[in-house]
Amino acid sequence: MNRVLTGFLVALLTYPVPGSSQWRSLGAVDSFSVASDRSLRVYSSGAVVSIEALGDAVMRIRLAPDGELRADLTEPIVRPVPVAENPTVEEREDAVVFKNALLSVEVSRARLRLRVLDHAGRVLSADDPERGMAWDGKAVRVWKSMPEQENYYGFGLKSGRMNKKYSHLTMWNSDIPAYGADTDPLYESIPFFLAVKGGVAHGTFFHNSFWSSFDMGKESRDRYSFGAEGGDLDYYIIAGPDPKDVISRYTALVGRMPLPPLWSLGYQQCRWSYYPEERVRELARTFREKKIPADVIYLDIDYMEGYRIFTWSQKNFPRPAPMIADLAEQGFKVAVILDPGIKLDTAYGAYRTGLAGNHFLKYPDGRLFIGKVWPGECAFPDFTRPETRTWWAEQLKALVDVGVRGFWNDMNEPSVFDVPTKTVALEVVHNDGGRRTSHTRNHNTYGLLMTKATREGVLSHRPGERPFVLTRATFAGGQSYSAAWTGDNVASWEHLQMTLPMCLNLGLSGQPFVGSDIGGFIGSPSGELYARWLQLGVFMPLMRTHTVAGSAPQEPWSYGEDFERINRSTIELRYRLLPYIYTVMHQASETGLPAMRPMILEHPHATEASWNQEQFYFGDHLLVAPVLWPGDTTRQLWLPEGRWFDFWERKVHSGPASVTLQAPIDRVPILVRAGGVIPLQPVMQFVGETPADPLTLLVCVGDSSIAHYYEDDGLSFDYTRGVSARRTVKQVSSATMHVIRVSAAQGSYRPARKGLELEIWGFEKRPLDVRAVTSGTGGRSILQNWRFDDLTRRLVVAVPEQPLAWEVVIER
């Protein structure tokens, strides 16, 4: 059929959306067929809807109003997932039903509307009967019924409350310093959300990089909708029913965080900016003199010569290599900031080679796009072009060669000061895999592609080591390339409170490696606010202090002696917990699950969890209730079902209950789930300063429970070849005995340490006897000693480091 005729028929046969005469939606189903790729194609008045079964648990739905399904926008977002073995098609009188193992999509014939059900027949997602899928010129949108009991989470980096029910959210990466609770959009766009209703979860990933929006019942209380200003209506419905299943499946689709280097989980110190060299050296010296552990020092934009990326200020950093080497001697890794803007300066190598290689963005008429940022007038690399990413990678060599270990990508929304849109002009052309599309399609992925270029570049120069890249802007799947932080927050209690919903939603959106600027970026915190923020920071995977140019000193020792002591012990807690934190991050890299987990993720059935954004799980076993209000010295929290050990007082609490814990200024309330095992190491001043010897396994007694811990060299890729050690700790209880079984290491990594210690909580009385033996028949005794402290009721069992399986048998 020719295009004009198709257009005419579409106009004639499709429905105008009530209340909004511009939108056209679909009419009756004319026909359907199964395409060669086994997707279901449903035709209606010139339009086509494609439904693809991806594996057992995902359905991809696409609409082409003009009947032509366009080429995918896959790169770099969605990885191919195997098509379901046997998606089935069932014809009913009123509907055509397309199924994979866990989901079925019902297509109603009278009016083309979709309902997605799970295998138990529960409706997960249902098109609004009146509107359904619709288009208006280039804009596309779908409206869905919104069940009263359903709540929504995720959406990437968003301020305001965690549960986004009744909110309107926009996806357009934007640089908004000192944002507030209702500022939207922000720096990152992740068009994914998790819906939870009656304990049953499903996910929706809107696979579209244009300016898009999600209206979660703000316009109308019984409908939600999402759509974009261009591109395809192309979305994925992801089955649960457990919210953890949804996140694992979503991240299988878009990519997961690779295991970071262990040192990047240490404490990081930043400000805008530490310079000159002598000040950086003094900073490092002060950490070591004061015995406050730290691993990373950042250099913000002033390290460069006139903000020219890849250069060093002659005056402030005349010899970066020896400085970085001296800092490395003291256990410090140096991270530097990288902005995308390349200064227009013919005497500047990056500008000259960039221009010669055609790496910069241009207007449709071929003129260079020029925008002002820190260096003045700049050109902007087109990171959609593989050759440009390679060029960027080559530039990084100079930094890698002088010893830089961390690469902080900033301003990559991209932010531009002097253009009215505050970003690259919208008509500017990107290569976009040869499609040559405008900035409207490439804006939201710009930051992600810059991090991809950066990570791949660093890897190409130092292939044996895991890179550390941190970014401000990114898109769905960005966790494959970098960690992310929450941008320019404010030194206020409101912003401390906002850190939690922001990081929790990022985690639910597939990005586990997150954190906010500790103490707040804009302004200067009080000693109390800084101390409380640092305490929350222990449980943010990215634990980094940062502050704006011109603010008061913001180091752990900047608030007087009392706070210095408190902040030191807070950072020491982080270092003691590193073996656990690393285990949690390893789990995140394998499953996509976040490290910081909102209550709803662990307790989807509990109504108390739906709006709870003041407490969270860190990994499987720790419950953290940070102090978020000035003056508070106690903390009330909701304790879910089960037995819980107060980390500080070892007292057992039973849930479900509301409990109040002591929270003096030097303490962040933490509880350990019964059955939980927390590997701990001795305090050290930086990662790898000494072996983690002894490794202590804090075991909280629980019946028939299972826990894991993971170790490897923390730095190389040897773990991908099996050089790691994953152990399982099982507890089995009877009336007379409690047995703790530690499995043999899975993998060939052998830690350099001599001793292990089990610290067991949960025995009220001194045991009759304790044995530690290697497992199996004829187990050999390996007990070095055990002791029970009557006052604290701690049972400590010491054994030599064991490569094989072993167990502790406690007789009561």
Our finding on whether 488 is near ligand MIG (CB under 6 A) is yes
Q: In this complex, which beta carbon is closest to ligand MIG, that of residue 43 or of residue 272? A: 272
Q: Which is nearer to ligand MIG, 234 or 410 (CB)?
A: 410
Long-range contacts of residues 116-125, Cβ cutoff 8 Å, at least 24 apart? 116/59, 116/202, 116/237, 118/200, 118/202, 118/239, 118/240, 118/241, 120/241, 122/200, 124/195, 124/200, 124/202, 124/237, 124/239, 125/195, 125/202, 125/204, 125/237
Q: Quote the least distance from Cβ 609 to ligand MIG, whole Å.
A: 32
DSSP line for 390-438: HHHHHHHHHHHHTT--EEEE-STTT--SSSTTSSS-TT-EE-GGGT-EE
Report d(CA 707, CA 156) in Å as an integer: 30
Neighbours of 718 (CB within 10 A): 15
Sheet holding 677-680, edge to edge: 677-680, 695-700, 755-761, 794-800, 785-789
Minimum Å distance from CB 546 to ligand MIG?
A: 6
When the beta carbons of 26 and 473 are compared against ligand MIG, the nearer one is 473
Task: Yes or no: say if 567 and 531 are a contact pair by the CB < 8 Å rule.
Answer: yes
CB of 448 to ligand MIG, least distance (A): 17
Q: What is the pattern of x (binds ligand MIG, CB under 6 A) and - over residues 496-535?
A: ----------------------------------------
The alpha-carbon radius of gyration of the chain (Å, integer) is 28
Query: Between the CA of residue 339 and those of 234, 279, 301, 304, 404, what are the distances in Å?
Result: 32, 23, 9, 11, 16
Q: How far apart are CA 471 and CA 462, in angstroms?
A: 20
The H-assigned helical ranges of 559-656 are 561-591, 599-602
The answer to whether residues 584 and 709 touch, using CB atoms and an 8 Å cutoff, is: no
CA distance 361 to 381: 6
Site size with ligand MIG, rule: CB under 6 A: 10
Q: How far is the CB of 381 from ligand MIG (least distance, A)?
A: 18
Nearer to ligand MIG, 3 or 372 (CB): 372
From residue 530 to residue 569, the character string flagging contacts with ligand MIG as x (rule: CB under 6 A) and all else as - is: ----------------x-----------------------
x/- mask, ligand MIG, residues 356-395, rule CB under 6 A, reads: ----------------------------------------
Does residue 188 belong to the site contacting ligand MIG (CB under 6 A)? no
Min CB(337)–ligand MIG separation in Å: 5
Which CB, 484 or 588, lies closer to ligand MIG?
484
Q: How far apart are CA 791 and CA 679, in angstroms?
A: 23
Q: Is 337 in the site for ligand MIG (CB under 6 A)?
A: yes
Min dist CB 270 to ligand MIG, Å, is 8
CB 604 within 8 A of CB 149: no
- Phi, psi of 321, deg, nearest 5: -60, -50
Cβ(672)–Cβ(647) below 8 Å: yes
Least Å distance, CB 300 to ligand MIG, is 5
Residues 6+ away with beta carbon under 8 Å from 629: 493, 497
What x-and-dash track marks residues 281-310 binding ligand MIG by CB under 6 A? -------------------xx---------
Regarding 472 and contact with ligand MIG (CB under 6 A), the answer is yes
Decide whether 100 or 273 has the Cβ nearer to ligand MIG.
Answer: 273
Q: What are phi and psi of 132, to 5 degrees?
A: 55, -140
Nearest in space to 620 (alpha carbons), one of 668, 657, 577, 583: 583
Q: Which is nearer to ligand MIG, 487 or 598 (CB)?
A: 487
Nearer to ligand MIG, 459 or 506 (CB): 506
Q: Which is nearer to ligand MIG, 272 or 611 (CB)?
A: 272
- State the alpha helices, DSSP H only, in 230-335: 243-254, 277-289, 320-329
Cis peptide before 276 (omega within 30 of 0): yes
Compute CA 731 distance to the chain's CA centroid, rounded to the nearest angstrom: 32
The verdict on 275 binding ligand MIG (CB under 6 A) reads no
For the bound state, the minimum distance from the C-beta of residue 272 to ligand MIG, rounded and expressed in Å, comes to 4
Parallel, antiparallel, or unpaired for β 755-761 and 695-700? parallel
Strand, coil or helix: what is 152?
strand
β-pair type (785-789, 737-742) = unpaired
Instruction: Decide if 413 is catalytic.
Output: yes
Catalytic residue chosen out of the listed positions 232, 277, 488, 517: 488
Strand partners, 379: 342
Catalytic residue among 232, 410, 432, 602: 410
x-or-dash string of contact with ligand MIG, 414-453, rule CB under 6 A: ----------------------------------------
The DSSP 8-state label assigned to residue 575 in this structure reads: H
Coil vs helix vs strand at 323: helix
User: Does the annotation mark 693 as catalytic?
Assistant: no
Number of residues in the chain: 812
Residue 786: name the closest of 777, 796, 776, 773 by CA: 796
Q: Considering the complex, state which of residue 143 and residue 374 has its C-beta at the smaller distance from ligand MIG.
A: 374
Q: How far is the CB of 487 from ligand MIG (least distance, A)?
A: 5
Q: Which of residues 245-274 bind ligand MIG (CB under 6 A)?
A: 272
Largest CA distance in the chain: 89
Residue among 448, 551, 547 nearest 495 (CA): 547
| Separate counts of helices (H) and strands (E) for the chain | 12, 49
Nearest distance in Å: CB 413, ligand MIG: 10
Q: For residues 382 and 488, which CB has a smaller minimum distance to ligand MIG in the complex?
A: 488
413 binds ligand MIG (CB under 6 A): no
Among the listed residues 118, 150, 413, 807, the single catalytic one is 413
Distance, in Å, from the CA atom of 95 to the CA atom of 63, rounded to the nearest integer, reads 18
Active site residue 37: no
Determine which residue in the list 234, 410, 432, 614 makes contact with ligand MIG, applying CB under 6 A: 410
Q: How far is the CB of 376 from ligand MIG (least distance, A)?
A: 14
Q: How far is the CB of 634 from ligand MIG (least distance, A)?
A: 34
Under 8 Å between Cβ of 427 and 364: yes
How far apart (Å, rounded) are the C-alpha atoms in residues 361 and 340?
A: 11
As measured in angstroms, the least distance from the Cβ of 144 to ligand MIG is 35
Using CB atoms, what's the residue nearest to ligand MIG?
Answer: 272
Catalytic machinery residues? 410, 413, 488
Q: Given the rule CB under 6 A, which residues bind ligand MIG?
A: 272, 300-301, 337, 410-411, 472, 487-488, 546
